[in-house]
Amino acid sequence: MPKFTLFALVCSTTYLAYTVQLEDIEFIVTQSLYQTVDMLEVREITIEIAHDGFKTGKFTAKELASAFLERIAKWDKAGPRINSTMAMSVTALEEAEALDYYLKEHGKLMGRLHGIPVLIKDQADTKGMVTTYGSAVARHNIPDEDAFVVTKLKEAGAVILGKTTLAEWATVWFSANGATDYEFTKNPYNLVYDVGASSGGSGAAVAANFAILAVGEDTGGSIRVPSSFCNIVGLRPTPGLISRTGFCPLIKVQDTPGPMARTVTDCALMLDCMVGFDPRDEFTGFAATAAALGLPKGVNRVILAAIDKLQSSGTTFVDVYIENLDHYMIYPLTYLQRSRSDINSFLATKPHLPQDIADILPEKSDTPYMSTLCAVAHGPKDPRSDPTYLDRILVRDEFKRKVDCLIASLGLDALTLPDVRVPPPRFEDAANGRFMKNGEEDFPTNTYLASVTRHPAISVPAGFTEDGLPVGMELIGLEYQEQTLLELAYGIETIIGGRKAPPAPF
């Protein structure tokens, strides 16, 4: 499989019109980027447009939520049936109406996401809504407590519309899962193509304008792959910046929730409302610290064209080389060594569900795209019993040091590369063995680089292949450099203009 050269990005920020801080969002506006919309037309609507509509009385939060729910009912649950959503809230309109009352009574918005419709990946517990983790065994699982992130979003004034589809146990590169009887989630840009990875429902829903924002989760690329395939912006933060409490895990040291949106600005605003210390997730000690501080050639053509455009605008790119990159990106992955243990630790908090994922899934599957999941389910109960586990951890840390030194020694702002080496695959590619090599799954993603090093990364729309399929450009920074990545991504978004709405009606 041909691969893409790894580039380093050295970027002058003189053209940037936006900065982000984790504790306080600051806007520097040089020109109006968005136009107002009719109260019933919600395609491509942003947080800024929504809040302007609320303040000026053009429409209410309840009317906005109703418009999105109507689109979901008409185009996601029926009609072409994108199949990006699962359980829906029965109280969303009441909650939106309460926000309208608050604005009327107090003359101000309740929070930074006041009235903003949000969808939640079904990997996260959501109070009062069926939460399946992509498995048929949890079709009747209704949590009595929100995941920490869901609580944070509600506190910011978000209106939670419902849940989005995900790959089974957040482990598969394709969207079908047992909770939906293995029905794929369709790509809004071409309905016979998949949306990719385990946050595919969130990616498709944001792309198709079923919500303004969505929560994703990324272990090995599950925010960035669907963001690339669905032409949206998705950020994988530094693990520990956002709490995982209430999320079914896959690899606890790599797992991280993150924001998914149609614009960098909205992605940044959502991130600011998600971060924070959580005593139930010891990894969020990092958050406290940070607060104190199709064809490969089709993808390459789009990325190279974007790089040319950025270079002509003053951005400097430097070719970099990491020896044994393939080994470093694959060998330190510990899905087969520790995911069973991490998932089982979550199942232990759900006594009404099976207590071992090995009791849920067969040891082997005749379906190629399920092979890794089945292998994960039947891995060791204790990762330390695997003789390669310690060596994988040591290689992981060695790789991180190499990447850190590379960025620091060359004075780079970020590394850049395509999220995935192919455009969105067709549904039949899930079963025809296209992504199998020597009997093992071999999905051509580049997202493992940031996952293994546990660095933050963001995917930004870069353009489309000749077949009209989206391609994303990924930026990787050092730990806690989310602000830098968002600034760079905003510049790319402004210069490239890679986000295009999918064909009507989406």
Catalytic residues: 121, 198, 222
Contact 368, 441 (CB under 8 A): yes
For the chain, what is the largest distance between any 2 Cα atoms, rounded to a whole number of angstroms?
A: 65
Collapsing DSSP states into helix, strand and coil, what is residue 448?
helix
Sheet containing 213-218: give its strands across: 85-88, 159-164, 117-121, 213-218, 256-261, 233-236, 457-464, 470-476, 414-418, 7-10, 316-319
- Token pair of 202, please? 């969130």
Q: Which residues pair with 190 in a beta bridge?
A: 187
Which residue is it, tokens 């959502």?
270
Listed in sequence order, the residues at least 6 apart from 308 whose beta carbon sits closer than 8 Å to its beta carbon are: none
- Tokens 């849940």 found at: 163
Counting Cα atoms < 13 Å in the Cβ hemisphere of 161 gives 31
Q: Measured in whole angstroms, how far is the alpha carbon of residue 419 from the centre of its chain?
A: 12
In this structure, are residues 123 and 247 in contact, taking their beta carbons and an 8 Å threshold?
yes
Give the C-alpha separation, 346 to 153, whole Å.
22
Name the CA dihedral angle for 22, 445, 362, 252, rounded to a multiple of 10 degrees: -30
CA dist 489 to 20, 414, 495, Å?
Answer: 11, 10, 10
> Measured on CA atoms in the order 497, 503, 504, 506, is the torsion positive or negative?
negative
In three state form, how does the secondary structure of 217-285 look? Answer: EECCCCCHHHHHHHCCEEEECCCCCCCCCCECCCCCCCCEEEEEECCHHHHHHHHHHHCCCCCCCHHHH
| Pair 131, 140: CB distance under 8 Å | no
**Vertex 231 angle, CA 228 and 237, to 5°:** 55
